[in-house]
C-alpha cells in the first residue's frame, strides 16, 4: 500500500463502469492524465466516461479510454510501422523508458510504457524507479507540495549538484517550482520502501 501520497486517492474508479486500477499510476484523474468526459473510444468503440489525455507515442487516436491502455489493446492498435524493408510494427507507448536501472525487469518497463497512462511534461517526461521496480506516479508538484516530501527535495538537490548548480541557484529554482506552471516537479513514491522521489522539467 502506498502511504506517501501528497493527497489521498480520490476513488475515481468508483463509477457506473469500474475503471481499471494501475499499479504505477494509481489516480490518473488526480494527476491530470485523464479527465471525466463522455466519449467513444477510438480503439474499442465503446462509450466511456473517463478519457485519457496524456501523451501517445504512436498513432494519435481521436479518443482513448483507460480500459484499452490497461489491457494493452491501445498499444497494439496504435502501433506504427518503422518503414523499413521488414515493415516492422512498433507498439505505441505512453511514456519513454529513460535511464531505467539495470535491476528493473523488462516486463515492468513494458507495463509502465505500454499499459500505464503516461503524463505530460514540458520537454522530456521521465518515469522514476526504486527498489528494482517502477515507482507510482503521483502527479505534478510545486515547492509547496514537495515540502511534505523532504526525500524528494533532496533528490532534486542531488540532481542539480550533478549538473554543477551552485546551492543558492538550486534553492531559488526549487522555490520557483509550480504545480500548474513551470518549472514543474513530478512526484513519485516507491511501492516497496515508501521513499518519495521527484524529477523536474522546464519548457
Strand pairing class (89-90; 184-189): unpaired
pLDDT tier at 188, thresholds 50, 70, 90: very high
The arithmetic mean of pLDDT across residues 170-175, rounded, is 97
CB atoms within 10 A of CB 152: 27
Distance CA 142, CA 198 (A): 11
> Model pTM greater than 0.85?
yes
Residues in the chain: 203
Confidence (pLDDT) at 2 = 42
DSSP state of 42: T
Cβ pair 25, 114 in contact under 8 A: no
pLDDT greater than 70 at residue 116:
yes
The arithmetic mean of pLDDT across residues 165-177, rounded, is 96
pLDDT greater than 90 at residue 121:
no
The arithmetic mean of pLDDT across residues 7-16, rounded, is 44
**HSE value, Cβ hemisphere, 13 Å, CA-based, for 74:** 30
Residue-wise pLDDT tens digits, 68-113: 999 999 999 999 987 665 556 799 999 999 899 999 999 999 999 9
Amino acid at each position: 500500500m502506498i502511504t506517501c501520497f501528497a493527497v489521498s486517492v480520490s476513488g475515481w474508479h468508483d463509477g457506473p463502469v469500474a475503471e481499471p486500477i494501475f499499479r504505477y499510476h494509481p489516480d490518473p484523474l488526480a494527476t491530470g492524465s485523464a479527465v471525466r468526459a463522455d466519449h467513444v473510444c477510438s480503439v474499442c468503440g465503446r462509450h466511456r466516461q473517463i478519457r485519457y489525455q496524456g501523451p501517445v507515442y504512436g498513432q494519435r487516436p481521436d479518443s482513448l479510454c483507460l480500459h484499452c491502455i490497461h489491457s494493452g489493446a491501445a498499444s497494439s492498435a496504435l502501433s506504427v510501422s518503422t518503414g523499413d524493408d521488414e515493415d516492422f510494427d512498433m507498439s505505441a507507448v505512453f511514456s519513454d523508458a529513460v535511464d531505467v536501472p539495470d535491476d528493473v525487469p523488462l516486463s515492468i518497463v513494458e507495463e509502465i510504457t505500454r499499459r500505464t497512462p503516461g503524463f505530460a511534461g514540458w520537454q522530456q517526461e521521465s518515469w522514476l524507479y526504486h527498489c528494482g521496480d517502477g515507482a507510482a506516479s503521483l502527479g505534478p508538484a510545486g515547492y509547496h507540495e514537495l515540502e511534505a516530501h523532504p526525500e524528494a527535495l533532496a533528490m532534486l538537490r542531488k540532481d542539480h549538484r550533478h549538473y554543477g548548480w551552485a546551492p543558492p541557484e538550486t534553492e531559488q529554482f526549487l522555490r520557483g517550482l509550480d504545480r500548474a506552471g513551470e518549472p514543474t516537479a513530478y512526484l513519485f513514491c516507491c511501492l516497496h520502501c515508501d521513499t518519495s522521489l521527484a524529477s523536474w522539467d522546464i519548457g
